[in-house]
Structure 1
Amino acid sequence: MRLARPLAAALAALLPAALAACGTAAGADTIAGADALTVGVKADQPGLGLAEPGGTFRGFEVEAGRYIARHLGASRIDFKAVTSENRERLLDDGTVDLVLASYSITADRSTKVTFGGPYYVAHQDIMVRRDETGIASVRDLAGRQMCQAGGSVSTERVVGGLGVRARLVPAPSYSACVDMLLAGRVDAVSTGDLVLAGFAARRRASVRILNAPFTEERYGVGLRKGDIDGCEAVNKAITRMYQDGTASRMLAIWFGSSGVDLVYSVPEFEGCS
């Protein structure tokens, strides 16, 4: 017993320091309070995220990402292009710290990343060539050629979710899908209305949006899996972005003339997990 008492006292003295060290390690795994953050955005989606000459990015998601990062405490904010297919990998390996890239929240994706938000609830719609007369709703896509952008879940909602037997034509991105639509290689492009609106604004003479929405796309902020503190901080920033009028102003600037019915209220959050 004489030996046990000194040992117990030594362990008791070391315990607070050990616990403090554990707390520091856990805190280091969150983006909340970080001085510098890299935001992943799309480089080829007008209105949402578009790369400009010189390496700058412009669009609603770029501005929203900057706003959120600043309210997380970052004084240095960098942007990096991501695609629908590499978003999870770039988050996981630390290349980017958060992603705003028309990143629809789904059950499968939530097993790989933690989602803050959504920061906007888009509605899936359909884009066709302006002279198209045979497609007026999602049901009319049966037997027609629809573009399938790599890494996107939008076409699965049509074919799998609604059972519409469209003929899928693969493409690497939605910008490639729009090019294929204009070239007559596909009959329709279907995804969130904000994505379509950005392209339509640049191609008004050639394409049109049906304005016949049929599902929701909840665009979330992707974070590394398990960053609950970061997720909660992101949700607070999104709430403030809507409450102080910043979200409404940005949506009006980028999509106000698109004809899409915009939503200016704070979205209902998924909850951090």
Structure 2
Amino acid sequence: MKLHKASAAAAAALVLALTATACGGDSSDDSKDSGDGGGKIIIGIKFDQPGLGLKKTDGSFAGFDVDVATYVAKELGYDAKSIEWKESPSAQRENLISNGDVKFVVASYSITDERKQKVDFAGPYFLAHQDLLVRADDSSITKVADLNSKKLCSVTGSTSAQNVKEKLAPKADLLQNGGYSECLTSLENKAVDALTTDDSILAGYASQKEHQGKFKLAGLKLSDENYGIGLKKGDTELQTKINAALKKMVSDGSWEKAVTANFGPAGYKNEPAPQIAEGS
């Protein structure tokens, strides 16, 4: 009798095992999906750049880079709910890509020869220029040489600030803060006369509701910054798909709509969508 019970139990266990194998033999985790569609996709963005990539107080994300990334993800087969946003500070972008922590990075990421040694780029999807942000009622700064008698603010270690200080206006009084928000406060309080970085970033700050009407861009094109989407080096298949998505975003009007929505309140005169460079 005991033997019969044991045999029955063994048989039942075997049936369960076979059933489980038939129904769920694929043990892959959808959350780590490596193909297009299904599962989730991890995309790197900035969390602290209004107008480009900003994590809002309610936990949602907004900005031009966010809109571009969301559009591209959709073309790859991922809806907005499948996107996991990962903060990607400038100094960490290459490592995040190389280590596979993100599928790609859309974070005011200028394409440079040095960076192309470590990662590949799709795009460019936006052409920015280094510019100055000044108070709306200030007409004393119309060219970069005017900074020689002015106080200029930027972020510590900023290449934009050094470009002005070393090459364009060496007599400018340069103040470096930990973040652009601090510079903006100093500019509003007249502690400094101008803030410098990419015009897209400046327009993003000026477009914030609490800042509208207080500041204006000087409209100086002090450098060319072609923003690209960074991805793992050698992934030509993904690069081709992203480039196709970017072209579609421009052709169907979504690109221009995103530019207007994110930068429009600052009166920002953006460049036309740049030509996609195959094999960026």
Q: TM range, normalised to the smaller chain?
A: 0.7 to 0.9
**Following superposition of structure 1 onto structure 2, how do residues 92-107 of structure 1 map, counting pairs within 5 Å?**
92-107=98-113
Selected match of 2:228 from 220, 232, 239: 220
Query: What residue in structure 2 maps to residue 113 of structure 1?
Result: 119
Shift of 1:115: 1.5
What residue identity is the alignment partner of 1:232?
T
Pick closer, same or farther for the CA change 1:108–1:200 going to 2, 3 Å: same
Query: What residue in structure 2 maps to residue 54 of structure 1?
Result: 58
Contact 2:41 2:83 in 1 (8 A): yes
Q: Once structures 1 and 2 are overlaid, which stretch shifts more, 33-42 or 213-222?
A: 33-42
Pick closer, same or farther for the CA change 1:90–1:146 going to 2, 3 Å: farther
Selected match of 2:76 from 49, 72, 75: 72
Pick closer, same or farther for the CA change 1:159–1:60 going to 2, 3 Å: same
Shift of 1:178: 2.0
CA–CA distance in structure 2, aligned partners of residues 166 and 87 of structure 1: 31
Unaligned residue ranges in structure 2 (runs of 5+): 1-31
Q: Does 1:272 align with 2:279?
A: yes
Query: What residue in structure 1 maps to residue 154 of structure 2?
Result: 148
CA–CA distance in structure 1, aligned partners of residues 179 and 35 of structure 2: 29
Selected match of 2:179 from 173, 179, 183: 173
Selected match of 2:197 from 184, 191, 196: 191
Q: Looking at secondary structure, tell me which structure has more helix per residue.
A: 2
**Following superposition of structure 1 onto structure 2, how do residues 76-87 of structure 1 map, counting pairs within 5 Å?**
76-87=82-93
CA–CA distance in structure 1, aligned partners of residues 96 and 158 of structure 2: 16
Q: Once structures 1 and 2 are overlaid, which stretch shifts more, 118-127 or 173-182?
A: 173-182
CA–CA distance in structure 2, aligned partners of residues 205 and 123 of structure 1: 21
Shift of 1:133: 4.5
Contact 2:129 2:222 in 1 (8 A): yes
Shift of 1:60: 1.4
Pick closer, same or farther for the CA change 1:144–1:115 going to 2, 3 Å: farther
Contact 1:85 1:151 in 2 (8 A): no
Q: Does 1:41 align with 2:49?
A: no
Query: What residue in structure 1 maps to residue 265 of structure 2?
Result: 257
Contact 1:242 1:264 in 2 (8 A): no
RMSD: 2.8
Shift of 1:168: 3.5
CA–CA distance in structure 2, aligned partners of residues 34 and 165 of structure 1: 56
Larger radius of gyration: 2
Q: Identity of aligned pairs, percent?
A: 37
Aligned length: 244
Unaligned residue ranges in structure 1 (runs of 5+): 1-27
Pick closer, same or farther for the CA change 1:79–1:170 going to 2, 3 Å: same
TM-score of the superposed pair, with normalisation by structure 1: 0.77
Selected match of 1:242 from 250, 255, 268: 250
What residue identity is the alignment partner of 1:140?
D
Shift of 1:32: 6.2
CA–CA distance in structure 2, aligned partners of residues 118 and 150 of structure 1: 27
Query: What residue in structure 1 maps to residue 130 of structure 2?
Result: 124
